[in-house]
Amino acid sequence: MFNTGIFGSNESGIAGFGRGALSLPSQLKVGKFSHCFTTIVESRPSPAFLGTPDNLQAQATGRLQSTPLVRNPESNHYYLSLKGITVGKTRLPFDASAFALKGDGSGGTIIDSGSALTSVPEAVYRSLVEAFESQVPLPVNKNNTDEHEGLLCFTASPKKKETAMPKLILHLEGADWDLQRENYVLYTEEDGLCVVISSAGEDSRSLIGNFQQQNTHIVYDLEHNMLVFVPARCDKL
């Protein structure tokens, strides 16, 4: 085994789960795999399963949904068909073309277990920021610490950390991913309430990161080219 990279004392390498021939699912010839990430602020193990889960409704806390996986011949990533985004009472003014995979392999929307933050194209991000600012009754923190630089944060004392935040919904083909508050809002005393979504800058791709996947059992059904997901108590699986 040959590993390179910077790993912690309890890490020995990275297992690839992409579409490539060298990925773990490909080498083991499994048609399905799944993972369920526990809350990022806790130190609990997150289970992963190779093969068909025994019962997807086990420890479920919400409705099971599915959406097609989109193939990109230029990439081993898993792409989804994102149709739009809603923040609270506002549907952002972008249709599916803003998130679609283009003929040259650019654009599109990736779901990635190895990236922390969800990111969207710059124009979409500006619209998302405006929607949150118009609906959150707190002042914007313009002096974020380095840890949350580039994120939209609202100044909030500990007494206001439970201030209501607008719902965030990712509209996918055949499914509406209604994110739980802890999957897109993070509170710290230094920066207040931060929306954990960033701008992709000049990149035209969107990416759904693992912060948004917390306490969600996500199944990659490669046999049927579908992504299945359901809110769940991941630490109980």
Cβ neighbour number for residue 93 with a 10 Å cutoff: 11
Pairing of strands 118-120, 197-199: parallel
Instruction: Fill in the amino acid letter for 164.
Output: A
Q: How far apart are CA 93 and CA 172, in angstroms?
A: 16
> Nearest-5° angle of CA 203, CA 204, CA 206?
95
Q: Are 148 and 140 in contact (CB under 8 A)?
A: no
**pTM to 2 decimals?**
0.92
Tens digits of pLDDT across the chain (237 residues): 455 666 666 666 677 888 887 888 888 889 999 999 999 888 888 999 998 776 888 889 999 999 999 999 999 999 999 999 999 999 999 999 999 999 999 999 999 999 999 999 999 999 999 999 999 999 999 999 999 999 999 999 999 999 999 999 999 999 999 999 999 999 999 999 999 999 999 999 999 999 999 999 999 999 999 999 999 999 998
> Which H or E element spans position 196?
none
**Exposed e or buried b per residue across 169-197, where buried means at least 16 C-beta atoms within 10 angstroms of its C-beta:** bbbbeebebbbbeebbbbbeeebbbbbbb
Q: Where are the domains of the chain?
A: 64-214
Domain 64-214 superfamily per CATH: Acid Proteases (2.40.70.10)
